[in-house]
């Protein structure tokens, strides 16, 4: 009977360790993209919730983004939702919805319309853009290239 030598087994184990380390590197590099996508999805959910609240309660509802603290709040809720400090957030909204201290409101009205605007979240070379239509209040999510 012929078996494997110790040297052959060590070579095979070395190749397996190299393979698993490459998989680990690829998985860890996706964490930034996952964090960015999760934060974007959370903000989209908050915006849709606020729009739904405005329609159901027949009262204005808003999502307030604190650019200084990288966080946001939803009207009617006391909780402050943090956004990772590694994510750069920019907001374009109506002038009267900016307070000059880093707070920006995206307001939804009972008829379904909104102040409209755009939220851009960037991390490294990845970016997501959330567009809010002022007439319909529709929220649209776009994957963009931050290097442009």
* Domains recognised in the chain with CATH numbers: 32-145 (3.55.40.10)
How far apart, in Å, are the Cα atoms of 17 and each of 7, 20, 31, 86?
A: 15, 5, 22, 31
Tell me if 116 sits within 8 A of 104, measured CB to CB: no
* pLDDT number for residue 32: 75
Model's pTM, two decimal places? 0.78
Q: pLDDT 10s digit of each residue in the chain, 148 long?
A: 577 788 888 888 888 888 777 776 655 556 778 889 999 999 999 999 999 999 999 999 999 999 999 999 999 899 999 999 999 999 999 999 999 899 999 999 999 999 999 999 999 889 999 999 999 999 999 987 655 5
């Amino acid at each position: 009977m012929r078996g494997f030598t110790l040297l052959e087994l060590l070579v095979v184990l070395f190749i397996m360790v190299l393979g698993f380390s490459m998989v680990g590197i690829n998985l860890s590099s996706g964490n930034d993209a996952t964090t960015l996508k999760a934060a974007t999805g959370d903000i989209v959910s908050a915006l849709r919730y606020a729009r739904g609240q405005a329609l159901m309660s027949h009262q204005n509802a808003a999502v307030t983004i604190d650019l200084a603290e990288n966080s946001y709040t939803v009207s009617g809720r006391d909780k402050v939702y943090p956004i990772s400090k590694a994510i750069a957030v920019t907001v374009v909204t109506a002038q009267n919805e900016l307070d000059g201290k880093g707070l920006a409101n995206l307001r939804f009205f009972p008829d379904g319309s909104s102040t409209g605007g755009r939220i851009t979240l960037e991390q490294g070379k990845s970016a997501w853009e959330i567009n809010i239509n002022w007439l319909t209040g529709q929220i649209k999510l776009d994957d963009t290239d931050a290097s442009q």
